[in-house]
């Protein structure tokens, strides 16, 4: 078991928060909107739900605060994936893909 | 972007809710979270009010839930297994919900009690909220109703009446640029001939602009136009069209006969199109009086309404009207000198002084809810403590503390949902009862209904109260000491429990005392009203009013002769002692107005410096029938007619104000009205004012044989116990005299007195019910706490008794522990009541809001009941056999 697999399986909201941060540093509202886009509205996070999850993720060292860049909104904190976070996200992605390649799962899902 | 007033408040609320989270969370994420919430609210605000409110409610609930989870996870850190703080793992919420429901259903007595308490308290709150919301906060049912104003000519003598001259109002309408329309209106009575019988109908007289002010559109036909002025046309209300014409469209163009003149029906108003203050009007007629007549400019007997052009602020509009009034005063100094104008939002006027009463109801019912919640917290706390063994076992076999708390919260959630469901029915019933019992003086009662806002209110109150009542028990559930709980078999009442329960007793006692004191003051007010005696014998008096057809009687003097004949006919009816007529009188409805008077020959000559007298036109026999005692001189006789010298009778106050200690009889009084002079022929006693504590008004009586009117009140004194028995004979006598004479319904003077009592009675009733419910809940709470605490301490008490403690000393000890929070609650309640009493001032009369007698009686009574509530279980405990108590373990 790698250090990342300890966190698996990820709950869907956590997975999508990490996915949202995968290619961008985002502030809270940005994460909410991105998750909503990525799941076509399937997951709508309330701000309070998001931040308690962010707290957990940052407690576990999976998400960190991004350094300021010029041009971004300075009043807001931006979040990014840590190295560990990328590892966890990759491990969960691999787990999902592995599930997808399981013939029984594919059969259950239908054509 | 749309801007909602509540936005800053919304954010403040969220900021406040942040306190639910742990300090560590707040430090790290607080600002960020608020920033994100702001973005979310801004986006929601673009989608309209409904979405905004829905999003807001969802966020409040989720802030609360997430904050609690944050706290609970903080509490459990270190003790729980690592899986619980993991971000993985599937949710067991469904399972917990199921277990919570099971546990609720398996304790039916307890669950029914809590659901019942919640249903009653939440239901009562929702009912009162619906009433207050519909009356105070809903807009009036007119298009852009906030643009409509009530306009009043202001009296140079500073009188508080709001009445206007229709001629001046028409001038305002012509000259003012800030208003879409300004119109004058008033009620009027006409005789409507209907197949040989005549019937008095209530009509509205109005400028043609009236329908533009209220933006009414006709259902069929058309409404007034400028050219209709002085035309005999009428617009029917929808009600009249339905009841008199069966909604037949061919009514348009047909005519109806009012006072033997034909009026053409030109249109019908839509259903519910009412002018405020003029309910029950059957049809509208244009004002057809001559506006060039200076008498009419001086006749201030109309209400005036104006609609501001959209976007015009009230201030500049009022300044413009004031300038116009000043111009009119210089053009018509005879009639307008010194008269100004004031404006007021229409809703303000419609809602009037009900605002404080209704808000007091809302405050009172909210206190009941708080007491109810405190009580439910007691119950849950007690049950949680009893279940500490079950909880300990759950913990011992691996349930994480937050799971235990969550299950306890879920139980409350189920109970809350049950409470909300039944609460909705309680609220619907409550609203119907309120509307049925409420005095008609409360405005807009017919608009009261339960809508989505009531549902929203119910949801929010339920959510907040179920979480609030579960908070202390849930936190305690987490903190259960597994070992201790398993050892004591879950019977003990721990020290921190006792502290929490004492705190709840303090709150319950304080809140109910506030309500009971309010109820006491209102009951005393009601008693004062009830004991009021007007200074004449009220039993055996019948009242009604009659209206003569002005087509049939050309001059007023013919009418006064008709009324004189009418009183003679009535007096001939067996059983009738005497009869009289008057233009107004005690309980008939105020008076017609005031006149400025001064002793003849004095310097000011009845000008603005004169004494303001309420005037009444009365027929011979009126003062005797009323039974007002004569102080000096004589009352009117049939000889005081138009051929004789003009005379008047003063009441004691008027005589004192005009002539001081000198005898008034034989003196002459000069009146501002038409500069006329009258001779005072008599002085009668004052009639006690209708409101206790109000000063007696100076009054002048004129004989209506000298100043005739077409409408008059009839006052009939009847011998025997049942005055209404003679009504058919009186009606027959009047019909025989003149079939065209309209006679209204008869009412006894005592009924009229009763009507006046309805409002204070209702106030006292409602607040007393709230107070008694809260007081009863508090006492049940006290008894419950004491009995629970002694049951848990039976062993301790048994040991004490074995060691020599007497029954009395045990009783004293147990009572002492509970009496302390009761006394603290009483002190708190007194302080609260004194602070809140100013909100009651408009509802109580002739009574200080901190009336010492009411306070001491209420406090004494409540203390007694509370002590009994605590004494009964304490005594049972003190009498228990120590051996049984000890063996019980």
- CA-closest candidate to residue A26, choices A60, A7, A3, A54: A54
Residue B433 DSSP SS3 = helix
Mean of the pLDDT values across residues A21-49?
A: 90
pLDDT at B607: 45
Which of B87, B88, B402 to mutate to test binding with chain A, by most A CBs within 10 Å of its CB?
A: B87
Instruction: Identify whether the C-beta of residue B649 lies closer than 8 Å to the C-beta of residue B701.
Output: yes
Beta carbons of B25 and A10 less than 8 Å apart: no
pLDDT at B691: 59
B303 Cβ contact list (under 8 Å, min separation 6): B150, B162, B163, B164, B184, B185, B186, B277, B278
Instruction: Identify whether the C-beta of residue B448 lies closer than 8 Å to the C-beta of residue B135.
Output: yes
Beta carbons of A53 and B91 less than 8 Å apart: no
B66 to chain A: which residues are within 8 Å by CB? 46, 48-49, 51-52
Beta carbons of B62 and A56 less than 8 Å apart: no
User: What are the pLDDT digits (tens) for B456-506?
Assistant: 998 888 888 888 877 777 776 666 566 666 665 444 445 566 777 788 888
Mean of the pLDDT values across residues B258-281?
A: 86
The overall longest dimension of chain A from CA atoms, in Å, is: 50
pLDDT band at B4 (very low <50, low <70, confident <90, very high): very low
Whether B88 has a pLDDT exceeding 70, the answer reads no
Mean of the pLDDT values across residues B737-765?
A: 77
B251 Cβ contact list (under 8 Å, min separation 6): B236, B241, B245, B265, B268
pLDDT at B95: 76
**B150 - beta bridge partners?**
B305, B344
Q: For chain A, list the domains and their CATH numbers.
A: 10-109 (1.10.10.10)
pLDDT at B7: 61
pLDDT at B381: 79
Instruction: Identify whether the C-beta of residue B265 lies closer than 8 Å to the C-beta of residue B254.
Output: yes
Comparing CB atoms, the residue among A10, A28, A32 nearest residue B88 is A10
Helices B794-802 and B749-792 sit at what angle, rounded to 10 degrees? Answer: 70
pLDDT at B414: 87
Mean pLDDT over all residues of chain B? 81
The label of the residue with tokens 């989505």 reads B452
Query: What is the rounded CA–CA span in Å between residue B525 and residue B177?
Result: 48
pLDDT band at A72 (very low <50, low <70, confident <90, very high): low
pLDDT at B96: 79
Comparing CB atoms, the residue among B29, B90, B91 nearest residue A54 is B29
Whether B774 has a pLDDT exceeding 50, the answer reads yes
B89 to chain A: which residues are within 8 Å by CB? 9, 11
Q: Which chain B residues have any C-beta within 8 angstroms of a chain A C-beta?
A: 25, 28-29, 32-33, 35-37, 39-40, 58-59, 62-63, 65-67, 69-70, 85-91
pLDDT at B812: 86
Query: What is the rounded CA–CA span in Å between residue B438 and residue B208?
Result: 35
Residue B712 DSSP SS3 = strand
pLDDT at B484: 64
Whether B385 has a pLDDT exceeding 50, the answer reads yes
Beta carbons of B62 and A75 less than 8 Å apart: no
pLDDT band at B544 (very low <50, low <70, confident <90, very high): confident
Beta carbons of B87 and A55 less than 8 Å apart: no
Least confident range from B484-488, B640-644, B832-836: namely B484-488
Beta carbons of A57 and B59 less than 8 Å apart: no
Q: Which of B783-814 are b and which e, b meaning 16 or more Cβ less than 10 Å from the residue's Cβ?
A: bbbbbbbbbbbbbebbebbeeebeeeebbeeb
pLDDT band at B85 (very low <50, low <70, confident <90, very high): very low
B32 to chain A: which residues are within 8 Å by CB? 27-28, 51, 76-77
Beta carbons of A27 and B87 less than 8 Å apart: no
Mean of the pLDDT values across residues B31-54?
A: 88
Beta carbons of A48 and B33 less than 8 Å apart: yes
Least confident range from A81-85, B543-547, B698-702, B861-865: namely B543-547
pLDDT at B86: 44
Please check whether residue A76 touches B, CB under 8 A.
yes
| Residue contacts between A and B (CB atoms, under 8 Å) | 77
Mean of the pLDDT values across residues B712-741?
A: 84
B250 DSSP 8-state letter: G
- CA-closest candidate to residue B83, choices B402, B477, B479, B394: B402
Least confident range from B283-287, B444-448, B536-540, B600-604: namely B600-604
User: What are the pLDDT digits (tens) for B387-417?
Assistant: 777 777 777 777 777 777 777 788 888 888 8
Comparing CB atoms, the residue among B33, B69, B86 nearest residue A47 is B33
B37 to chain A: which residues are within 8 Å by CB? 47-48
Whether B213 has a pLDDT exceeding 60, the answer reads yes
The label of the residue with tokens 């469209």 reads B249
Please check whether residue A1 touches B, CB under 8 A.
no
Mean of the pLDDT values across residues B75-88?
A: 42
Number of Cα atoms under 13 Å in the Cβ half of residue A104: 0
B86 to chain A: which residues are within 8 Å by CB? 7
Which of A48, A65, A72 to mutate to test binding with chain B, by most B CBs within 10 Å of its CB?
A: A48
Contacts with B, A 22-61, CB within 8 Å:
27-29, 32, 46-60
Mean of the pLDDT values across residues B797-808?
A: 82
Give the residue on A whose Cα is nearest the Cα of B14.
A48
Give the gyration radius of chain A's Cα atoms.
15
Query: What is the rounded CA–CA span in Å between residue B90 and residue B715?
Result: 84
- CA-closest candidate to residue B648, choices B614, B687, B601: B614
- CA-closest candidate to residue B611, choices B702, B672, B684: B672
Whether B149 has a pLDDT exceeding 90, the answer reads yes
A14 to chain B: which residues are within 8 Å by CB? 87-88
Alpha helices in B603-748 (DSSP H): 622-626, 652-659, 727-737
Beta carbons of B33 and A28 less than 8 Å apart: yes
Structure tokens belonging to residue B885: 């108590």
- CA-closest candidate to residue B183, choices B217, B153, B212: B212
pLDDT band at B588 (very low <50, low <70, confident <90, very high): low
CA dihedral over B265, B270, B274, B280, signed as positive or negative = positive
Whether B89 has a pLDDT exceeding 50, the answer reads no
A53 to chain B: which residues are within 8 Å by CB? 87
pLDDT band at A35 (very low <50, low <70, confident <90, very high): very high
CA distance B33 to chain A (A): 6
User: What are the pLDDT digits (tens) for B596-612?
Assistant: 778 877 655 444 457 77
A59 to chain B: which residues are within 8 Å by CB? 85
The label of the residue with tokens 């706490």 reads B785
pLDDT band at B91 (very low <50, low <70, confident <90, very high): low
Comparing CB atoms, the residue among A7, A52, A76 nearest residue B88 is A7
DSSP codes, A40-109? TTS----HHHHHHHHHHHHHTTSEEEPPP-TTS-TTS--EEE-HHHHHHHHHHHHHHHHHHH-HHHHHHH
Whether B693 has a pLDDT exceeding 70, the answer reads no
Does residue A9 have a cis bond before it (omega within 30 degrees)?
Answer: yes
Whether B773 has a pLDDT exceeding 90, the answer reads no
Least confident range from A74-88, B119-133, B223-237, B665-679: namely B665-679
The label of the residue with tokens 């309120």 reads B434
Rounded percentage of chain B residues whose pLDDT exceeds 90: 12
Which comes out higher in pLDDT, residue B325 or B586? B325
Give the residue on B whose Cα is nearest the Cα of A73.
B35
pLDDT band at B183 (very low <50, low <70, confident <90, very high): very high
Comparing CB atoms, the residue among B28, B63, B65 nearest residue A55 is B28
Which of B18, B36, B73, B92 to mutate to test binding with chain A, by most A CBs within 10 Å of its CB?
A: B36
Least confident range from B12-16, B22-26, B44-48, B532-536: namely B532-536
| Helices vs strands, H then E, count in chain B | 27, 23
Which comes out higher in pLDDT, residue B665 or B92? B665
Comparing CB atoms, the residue among B39, B69, B91 nearest residue A52 is B69
A51 to chain B: which residues are within 8 Å by CB? 25, 29, 32-33, 36, 66
Instruction: Identify whether the C-beta of residue B56 lies closer than 8 Å to the C-beta of residue B41.
Output: yes
Q: How far is CA A104 from CA A9, A12, B90, B840, in A?
A: 19, 22, 22, 75
Rounded percentage of chain B residues whose pLDDT exceeds 70: 87
Q: How far is CA B93 from CA B101, B437, B464, B529, in A?
A: 12, 47, 20, 59
Structure ipTM: 0.88
Burial classification of residue A33, based on how many CB atoms lie within 10 Å of its CB (0-12 exposed, 13-18 middle, 19 or more buried): middle
Residue B273 DSSP SS3 = coil
Mean of the pLDDT values across residues B562-585?
A: 86
Instruction: Identify whether the C-beta of residue B528 lies closer than 8 Å to the C-beta of residue B846.
Output: yes
């Amino acid at each position: 078991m790698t250090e990342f697999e300890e966190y698996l399986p990820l709950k869907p909201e956590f997975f999508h928060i990490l996915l949202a941060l995968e290619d961008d540093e985002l502030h809270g509202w940005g994460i909410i909107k991105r998750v909503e886009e990525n799941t076509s509205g399937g997951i709508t996070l309330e701000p309070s739900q998001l931040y308690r999850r962010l707290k957990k993720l940052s407690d576990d060292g999976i998400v960190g605060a991004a350094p300021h860049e010029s041009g971004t909104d300075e009043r807001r904190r931006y979040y990014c994936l840590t190295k560990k976070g990328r590892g966890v996200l990759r491990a969960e992605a691999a787990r999902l893909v592995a599930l997808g390649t399981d013939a029984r799962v594919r059969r259950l899902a239908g054509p | 972007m749309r801007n909602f007033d509540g936005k800053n408040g919304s954010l403040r609320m969220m900021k406040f809710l942040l306190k639910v989270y742990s300090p560590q969370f707040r430090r790290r994420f607080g600002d960020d979270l608020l920033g994100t919430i702001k973005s979310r609210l801004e986006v929601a605000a673009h989608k309209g009010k409904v979405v905004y409110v829905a999003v807001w409610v969802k966020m409040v609930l989720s802030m609360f839930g997430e904050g609690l989870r944050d706290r609970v996870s903080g509490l459990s850190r270190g003790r729980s297994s690592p899986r619980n703080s993991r971000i993985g793992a599937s949710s067991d919420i469904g399972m917990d919900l199921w277990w919570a429901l099971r546990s609720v259903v398996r304790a039916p007595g307890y669950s029914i009690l809590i659901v019942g308490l919640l249903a009653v308290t939440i239901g009562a709150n929702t009912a009162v909220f619906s009433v207050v919301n519909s009356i105070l906060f809903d807009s009036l049912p007119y298009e852009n109703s906030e643009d409509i104003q009530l306009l009043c000519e202001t009296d140079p003598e500073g009188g508080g009446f709001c009445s206007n001259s229709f001629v001046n109002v028409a001038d305002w309408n012509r000259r003012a640029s800030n208003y879409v329309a300004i119109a004058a209106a008033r009620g009027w009575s006409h005789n409507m001939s209907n197949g040989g019988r005549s019937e008095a109908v209530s009509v509205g007289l109005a400028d043609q602009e009236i329908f533009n002010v209220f933006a009414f559109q006709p259902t069929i036909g058309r409404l007034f136009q400028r050219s209709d002025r002085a035309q005999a046309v009428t617009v029917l209300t929808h009600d009249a069209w339905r009841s008199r014409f069966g909604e037949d469209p061919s009514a348009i163009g047909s005519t109806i006969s009012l006072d033997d003149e034909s009026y053409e029906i030109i249109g019908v108003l839509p259903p519910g199109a009412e002018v405020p203050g003029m309910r029950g009007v059957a049809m509208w007629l244009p004002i057809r009086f001559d506006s060039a007549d200076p008498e009419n400019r001086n006749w201030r007997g109309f209400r005036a309404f104006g609609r501001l052009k959209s976007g015009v602020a009230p201030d500049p509009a009022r300044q413009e009207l004031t300038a116009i009034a000043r111009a009119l005063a210089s053009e018509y100094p005879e009639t307008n000198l010194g008269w100004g104008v004031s404006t007021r939002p229409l809703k303000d006027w419609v809602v009037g002084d009900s605002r404080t009463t209704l808000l007091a109801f809302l405050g009172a019912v909210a206190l009941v809810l708080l007491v109810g919640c405190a009580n439910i917290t007691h119950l849950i706390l007690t049950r949680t403590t009893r279940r500490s063994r079950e909880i300990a076992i759950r913990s011992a076999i691996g349930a994480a503390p937050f799971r235990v708390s969550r299950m306890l919260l879920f139980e409350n959630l189920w109970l809350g949902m049950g409470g909300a469901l039944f609460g909705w029915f309680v609220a619907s019933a409550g609203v119907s009862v309120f509307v049925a019992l409420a005095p008609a003086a409360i405005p807009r009662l017919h608009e009261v209904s339960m809508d989505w806002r009531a549902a929203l209110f119910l949801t929010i109150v339920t959510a907040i109260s179920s979480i609030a009542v579960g908070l202390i028990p849930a936190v305690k559930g987490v903190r259960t000491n597994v070992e201790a709980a398993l050892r004591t078999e879950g019977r003990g009442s721990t020290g921190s429990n006792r502290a929490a329960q004492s705190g709840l007793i303090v709150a319950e006692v304080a809140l109910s005392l506030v309500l009971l004191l309010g109820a006491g003051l209102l009951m005393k007010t009601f008693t004062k009203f009830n004991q009021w005696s007007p200074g004449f014998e009220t039993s055996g008096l019948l009242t009604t009013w009659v209206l003569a057809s002005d087509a049939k009687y050309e001059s007023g003097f013919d009418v006064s002769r008709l009324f004189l004949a009418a009183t003679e006919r009535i007096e001939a009816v067996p059983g009738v002692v005497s009869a009289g007529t008057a233009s107004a009188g005690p309980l008939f409805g105020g008076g017609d107005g005031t006149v400025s008077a001064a002793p003849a020959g004095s310097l000011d000559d009845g000008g603005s410096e004169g004494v303001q007298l309420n005037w009444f036109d009365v027929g011979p026999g009126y003062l005797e029938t009323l039974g007002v005692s004569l102080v000096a001189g004589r009352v009117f006789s049939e000889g005081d007619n138009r051929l004789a010298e003009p005379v008047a009778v003063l009441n004691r106050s008027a005589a004192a104000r005009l002539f001081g200690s000198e005898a008034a009889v034989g003196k002459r009084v000069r009146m501002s009205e038409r500069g006329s002079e009258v001779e005072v022929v008599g002085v009668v006693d004052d009639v006690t004012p209708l409101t206790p504590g109000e000063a007696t008004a100076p009054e002048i009586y004129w004989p209506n044989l000298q100043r005739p009117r077409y409408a008059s009140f009839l006052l009939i004194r009847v011998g025997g116990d049942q005055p209404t028995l003679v009504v058919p004979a009186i009606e027959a006598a009047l019909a025989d005299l003149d079939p065209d004479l309209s006679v209204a319904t008869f009412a006894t003077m005592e009924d009229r007195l009763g009507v006046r009592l309805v409002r204070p009675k209702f106030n006292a009733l409602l607040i007393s019910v709230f107070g008694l419910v809260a007081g009863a809940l508090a006492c049940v709470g006290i008894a419950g706490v004491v009995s629970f605490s002694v049951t848990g301490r039976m062993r301790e008490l048994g040991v004490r008794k074995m060691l020599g403690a007497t029954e009395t000393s045990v009783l004293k000890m147990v009572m002492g522990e509970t009496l302390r929070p009761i006394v603290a609650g009483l002190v708190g309640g007194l302080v609260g009541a004194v602070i809140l009493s100013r909100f009651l001032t408009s509802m109580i009369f002739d009574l200080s809001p901190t009336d010492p007698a009411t306070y001491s009686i209420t406090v004494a009574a409540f203390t007694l009941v509370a002590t009994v509530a605590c004494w009964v279980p304490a005594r049972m405990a003190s009498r228990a056999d120590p051996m049984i108590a000890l063996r019980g373990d």
